[in-house]
Amino acid sequence: MPWKETCAMNERQLFIEAWLASGENVRRLCRRFYISPKTGYKWINRFKAEGFCR
């Protein structure tokens, strides 16, 4: 089975959408996306300041 191809911006958007929709614990969400909590909080804070970048 081939690897699923994705890009960082898509993964960031999916992370933020999951955070907005679920209200899930950020650390648990980070584990689900295989990122560090530091990165997760950085993405959340950037989203709060700038919104989705397109």
Rounded Cα distance, 2 and 52, in Å: 30
| pLDDT at residue 22 greater than cutoff 70 | yes
pLDDT at 54: 56
pLDDT at 1: 58
Find out whether 50 and 14 touch, Cβ atoms under 8 Å. no
Rounded Cα distance, 30 and 38, in Å: 9
Tokens at 8, concatenated: 């960082």
Mean pLDDT of 22-27: 87
Rounded Cα distance, 27 and 22, in Å: 13
Tokens at 49, concatenated: 């300041």
Query: Higher-confidence residue: 26 or 53?
Result: 26
Q: pTM higher than 0.85 for the full model?
A: no
Domains of the chain: 8-50 (1.10.10)
